[in-house]
Chains A and B, each alone.
Chain A
């Protein structure tokens, strides 16, 4: 049984978090947290509904970045960003999460904070170079998404800290294009067995893998190869091979490590080939 709070400011959130420490949990959409509580995986004594903090449900377009507030749902995030082709990779990732009903509640920030290795938006955010904006008693700090996540269910958040927004770099005009692909056992409403996001802007290309390691994996060796030799059918195949060797999957009921490796190469290659077509178009 927990006590329920409706903080009205980030300052109030941080002071409640600081006061209650481990016993307090931030409640965003609740699509992870309520299930975890029901399964007995978390037993918080205080729940802080951050949706009551004014402004957190906004998407702010600034000169050099886009700030997606911590209470913005996956559905709204997709709607706000759908006009920007450079963010299509993230829109696809957001859309592939769960079901329509879940996306109406689940937040983008929550998907990151929950730190599930299979979180779909994470690889997309990583290839976009997104940051997590953290609010604490000593002010704000920005941490790149891949450094924010330190392991399954683990982040760099310190006691008293809350995520206030996910921050995307603004890619005015010259923005690149990205592709997100995933494979699950069932075509809809299923956690990814493996997922891949790729993104190309100018000469540079980024590749990130999900569900095949304790946290998201950047395939830097493949990225360097593509930067050197350009994106062709041959380099896509080689990049897929490199992605396969970068992945560190486990075996669980959703798939064996071996199968996940096969998916990584299949999805990476397919994503890069699709990307090549999009860039050309």
Chain B
């Protein structure tokens, strides 16, 4: 393969100096001067209630209050995959924290005072507080599977509703939705994804070992350190400008255009730096709330920065999951059958969550070849916070169970869990759960790399104290970018007079390093130094379309658009240079900002000489160089509605393996994660330091979800919506990390072979730790998180059993 000049190098981040000096501006940092107004939102105290009346008269009298809006003012339904919500609650509220009214005032104090004076009469309704009860709803809804008859969910701590019956969305059947989403009108099931591969009964009949367990995950929250913030301005001509801490400027524009019936060329979305996304700033969260206020207040800037409590209650959370998994293997260790029933706790609105359910469904085999599969994946409305995308998009959730099943079966068969996984790993050409052939299936490579690095099989060293026990566990993963089959990217590359370059995209820098990675791709292709390339932050009036910065797809998809734009610009430069130098373009190269024929490097032109065209004696040629690039992934097919079978549901698959070394304190149940060894196969590494940074951050996020994170909900009310009681990892939690990046299978249609890495990083950590706990102390915990309390309770139970 050709030697790269900037690709594959740990080029320093483009945004680093901004960020270490305090120069980097986030939405809340932008100063708007005297036109700034502050918004506050009145939120529902009820998990489920009918709104009888709203009286804003007293609130409007508070000095400083400029405008108040309610659900009456915005009746359009919006949503990314399923249009099931309005900007403010219209006739019902469906979760605690749902926006009911908004106030704009000249101070936060006045806005707060006014919010308190808005009188809302509610008629409380019975609620749905777990997905299994919600799916059962009125008797007989989800009784297709035989296992549903044996009430396997009874006794699970997360099953809350004693008398199911509430229906959250009476009009589910009328909501618009994407063609690959299948709501079940008249129920709380907003998407039922069905997968049928092979013959499940024959499969289990051939199994010598069958393992069936239920795995559960609570809601967790992204906890970006920057709270969501949005500022809306409507000028006197009606043009809307929105500054938003968003991962999805174009999606925001589209949903707001729908909600307020505006043409897209009258909405401008500007996204400065974003202080962490992880999916929680994708789609639309709080941005739309300020728009109707600003529309009533032309000339003002209306700002809403959420409090930490609001971030927890009223932005996306990761959906909860109840997963019943039944897995069978024959005595040689081959997986022969798997049955999965997945109940996703989608929360009050599932406009985005429905697609997580789909991904979880078509990936439900995990990264293994299983000939017979039956999966039912249900996205269920509950009166819980709104589920949305979070790093991994269903994969951390399903792998939590799958990867423990693998250890359990291996143990039953007396096989090494690593060898067992390796034997069943998806390989080139294996048929995936969706029935199509897998390309670039490199799980075994990552298993081998991790095994060699961590010394798998070597004796575990002794613990640090007599009451502590060490253990080691592993988990594997795979993930594809979950996006519509036609998720697009585009880029414009402009040359400046001095040969420097601007790349315009609407890809969002959310910390993952997209500015730098895209600059590296442009510089590599164009043949200019990387420090000559500046990638700009999105401004939808000027930067070209990007579907969303999610799904670990930016390096791949926006990368392809940037690569195409650079090729386009390069062709224009070479055409001019060919004419000036009288050498055919095919014989010219561009390196370090110089155009020359390798055969005669002395005959050269600087890119800056031709960036604006060239003046020959006979007249000018060329013109300002502008490269244009568009990308849409080719060949992604749909899946059959009844069988979930198809050829290629996703653009590519990233594989990875992690091994966790831990210590358990048998007196307190506390787990200390000592070390995580991780290997990922990413096709091509653009920037090793940044790529490793993704893995480090993902492991620690995975560690948080494994040990601590749980948004505790009591009848829909969050009990720990702050960092006092919702703990994310601190520096003292960071384990030693040993990270291997492999490039064994470059992605055919990825720029320079690139696949995605950001999300896969957190997927295996929690199950690897759970398997390590079992390895250490012999208790298996199937309900996240692995809190010290839960571990100790399990240890005590085990002791009681044994004595």
Give A contacts to B, CB under 8 Å. Answer: 1, 183, 185-191, 253-256, 258-259, 262-263, 266-267, 270
Report yes or no: B712 in contact with A183, Cβ–Cβ below 8 A: no
Q: A263: which B residues are within 8 A, CB to CB?
A: 668
Which residue of B has the minimal Cβ distance to A258?
Answer: B793
Interface assignment of B799: CB less than 8 Å from any CB of chain A = no
Report yes or no: B727 in contact with A186, Cβ–Cβ below 8 A: yes
Report yes or no: A262 in contact with B730, Cβ–Cβ below 8 A: no
Report yes or no: A186 in contact with B733, Cβ–Cβ below 8 A: yes
Stretch from B171-179, B478-486, B493-501, B784-792 contacting the other chain? B784-792
Report yes or no: B732 in contact with A262, Cβ–Cβ below 8 A: no
Which listed residue, B668, B719, B720, B724, touches A266 by the CB 8 Å rule? B668
Which residue of A has the minimal Cβ distance to B792?
Answer: A262
* B679-723 interface (Cβ within 8 A of A): 708, 712, 719-720
Q: A188: which B residues are within 8 A, CB to CB?
A: 730-732
Q: A266: which B residues are within 8 A, CB to CB?
A: 667-668
- Min CB distance B383 to A, Å, is 20
Q: B668: which A residues are within 8 A, CB to CB?
A: 183, 262-263, 266-267
Binary per-residue interface labels of chain B (656-674) against chain A in the complex, 1 for a CB within 8 Å, 0 otherwise: 0000000000011110000
Interface assignment of B725: CB less than 8 Å from any CB of chain A = yes
- Min CB distance B800 to A, Å, is 13
Q: A1: which B residues are within 8 A, CB to CB?
A: 109
Q: A259: which B residues are within 8 A, CB to CB?
A: 669, 788-789, 792-793
Q: B787: which A residues are within 8 A, CB to CB?
A: 185
A-B contact pairs, 20 of them (CB 8 A): A183-B668, A183-B670, A183-B788, A185-B708, A185-B727, A185-B787, A186-B727, A186-B730, A188-B731, A189-B730, A190-B727, A191-B724, A253-B719, A256-B789, A259-B669, A259-B789, A262-B667, A262-B669, A262-B796, A263-B668
Which listed residue, B708, B727, B789, touches A255 by the CB 8 Å rule? B789
Q: A258: which B residues are within 8 A, CB to CB?
A: 793
Which residue of B has the minimal Cβ distance to A186?
Answer: B727
Q: B789: which A residues are within 8 A, CB to CB?
A: 255-256, 259
Known contacts A185-B727, A186-B732, A253-B725; 14 additional CB pairs below 8 A are A183-B788, A185-B788, A186-B729, A188-B732, A191-B724, A253-B712, A256-B789, A258-B793, A259-B792, A259-B793, A262-B796, A263-B668, A266-B667, A267-B668
| B: contact size bracket | 20 to 34
Q: Report Cα–Cα, A187/B708, bound state, in Å.
A: 11
Q: A256: which B residues are within 8 A, CB to CB?
A: 789
Report yes or no: A186 in contact with B792, Cβ–Cβ below 8 A: no
Which residue of B has the minimal Cβ distance to A263?
Answer: B668
- Min CB distance A111 to B, Å, is 16
Interface of chain B: mostly helix, strand, loop or mixed: loop
- Min CB distance A64 to B, Å, is 39
Which residue of B has the minimal Cβ distance to A254?
Answer: B725
- Min CB distance A32 to B, Å, is 12
Report yes or no: A187 in contact with B733, Cβ–Cβ below 8 A: yes
Which residue of B has the minimal Cβ distance to A267?
Answer: B668
Q: B708: which A residues are within 8 A, CB to CB?
A: 185-186
Binary per-residue interface labels of chain B (640-670) against chain A in the complex, 1 for a CB within 8 Å, 0 otherwise: 0000000000000000000000000001111
Q: Report Cα–Cα, A255/B788, bound state, in Å.
A: 9
Q: Report Cα–Cα, A262/B665, bound state, in Å.
A: 13
- Min CB distance A92 to B, Å, is 16
Which residue of B has the minimal Cβ distance to A187?
Answer: B732
Q: A262: which B residues are within 8 A, CB to CB?
A: 667-669, 792, 796
Which residue of B has the minimal Cβ distance to A99?
Answer: B730
Q: B730: which A residues are within 8 A, CB to CB?
A: 186-189
Which residue of A has the minimal Cβ distance to B728?
Answer: A186
Which residue of A has the minimal Cβ distance to B723?
Answer: A189
Q: Report Cα–Cα, A256/B720, bound state, in Å.
A: 15
Candidate in A187, A255, A256 with the most chain B CB atoms within 10 angstroms? A187
Binary per-residue interface labels of chain B (772-803) against chain A in the complex, 1 for a CB within 8 Å, 0 otherwise: 00000000000000011100110010000000
- Min CB distance B713 to A, Å, is 11
Q: B719: which A residues are within 8 A, CB to CB?
A: 253
Q: Report Cα–Cα, A253/B788, bound state, in Å.
A: 13
Which residue of B has the minimal Cβ distance to A194?
Answer: B668
- Min CB distance B116 to A, Å, is 10
9 A-B pairs with least C-beta separation = A266-B667, A259-B789, A188-B732, A186-B727, A187-B732, A253-B720, A253-B725, A188-B730, A253-B719
Q: B724: which A residues are within 8 A, CB to CB?
A: 191
Q: A183: which B residues are within 8 A, CB to CB?
A: 668, 670, 788
**Contacts A191-B724, A259-B789, A259-B792 given; does A270 touch B733 at CB 8 Å:** no
Which residue of B has the minimal Cβ distance to A185?
Answer: B727
- Min CB distance B208 to A, Å, is 40
Q: Report Cα–Cα, A266/B467, bound state, in Å.
A: 11
Q: Report Cα–Cα, A180/B784, bound state, in Å.
A: 31
